[in-house]
């Protein structure tokens, strides 16, 4: 499907009417699975730094790597809305750089929009990107790219001051033109208040049930990432265990010469074999 035949702005029509469900994807296969399952949109997250590249955090990944992930996801899920995560330092330096990198996500990564972390402090950047014709997904609450400032990866909005700031941030992002807002690691009651105070969909990850939609990391959903599991994650399959078991069985059969069997082998005609043996 042509890149411009589907738009993230259509998600706004689902607010209050239908739960929006999204997942991340990072490669052709996970994108195929997500599209076949019927997610409303795919986020090519900078979490790829951890689940795909093995880094300790999301700071290490750059535009070149993110574009590679976006390209392969676009091939795997051509009929699903795809949002590219702008990585650390790809939009913080200047508005010009932000628009350029967001444009690369569309032009080269074949995404339908980009995600930007932060609230009031990134509002001008968001507005500039939107003015350039690129849809933006906001992200407030626990924003991993600002983990150093936030004092680590922990729940946000638990004080009256921080709760008010998150509400303010959501309103500012809506005014700046985002089509939806991810709310991460925020008390459920606060997420409900934010959801009721903005007219764009809220997409929760660790934000409770009172938001307009939910998103989880693909590797968490299918139980592939074993380094740690946040409280808000529910694994629906032990992918790591299942894949490990399959590989163990493969190793066992190879060692015991059970695999490959005649079924998995090619045969040569007896005439040619006879001639070869007589050479």
Question: Annotated catalytic sites, by residue?
Answer: 184
Phi, psi of 213 (to 5 degrees): -165, 175
**For tokens 């995560």, what's the residue?**
85
Closest by alpha carbon to 174, among 214, 212, 215?
A: 212
**φ and ψ at residue 125, rounded to 5 degrees:** -65, -45
Residue with tokens 């299942």: 242
Beta strands in 191-254 (DSSP E): 202-205, 213-216
SS3 for 53? Answer: coil
Of the candidates 56, 130, 38, which has an alpha carbon nearest to the alpha carbon of residue 91?
Answer: 130
Cβ–Cβ under 8 Å, residues 114 and 129: yes
């Amino acid at each position: 499907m042509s890149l411009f035949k589907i738009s993230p702005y259509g998600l706004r029509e689902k607010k209050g009417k239908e739960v929006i469900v999204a997942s991340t994807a990072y490669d052709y296969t996970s994108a195929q699975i997500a599209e076949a399952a019927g997610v409303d949109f795919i986020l090519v997250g900078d979490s790829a730094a951890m689940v795909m590249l093995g880094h300790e955090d999301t700071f290490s990944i750059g535009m070149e790597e993110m574009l590679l992930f976006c390209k392969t996801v676009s091939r795997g899920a051509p009929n699903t809305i795809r949002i590219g995560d702008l990585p650390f330092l790809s939009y913080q330096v200047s508005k010009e750089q932000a628009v350029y990198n967001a444009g690369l996500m569309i032009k080269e990564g074949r995404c339908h929009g980009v995600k930007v972390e932060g609230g009031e402090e990134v509002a001008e950047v968001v507005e500039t990107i939107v003015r350039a014709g690129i849809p933006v997904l906001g992200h407030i609450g626990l924003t991993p790219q600002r983990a150093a400032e936030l004092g680590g990866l922990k729940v946000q909005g638990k004080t009256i001051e921080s709760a008010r700031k998150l509400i303010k941030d959501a309103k500012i992002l809506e005014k700046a033109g985002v089509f939806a807002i991810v709310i991460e690691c925020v008390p459920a009651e606060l997420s409900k208040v934010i959801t009721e105070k903005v007219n764009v969909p809220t997409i929760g990850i660790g934000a409770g049930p009172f938001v307009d939609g939910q998103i989880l990391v693909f590797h968490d959903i299918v139980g592939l990432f074993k380094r740690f599991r946040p409280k808000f994650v529910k694994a629906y399959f032990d992918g790591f265990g299942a894949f490990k078991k399959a590989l163990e069985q493969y190793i066992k059969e190879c060692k015991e010469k059970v695999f490959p069997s005649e079924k998995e082998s090619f045969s040569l005609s007896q005439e040619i074999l006879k001639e070869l043996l007589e050479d």
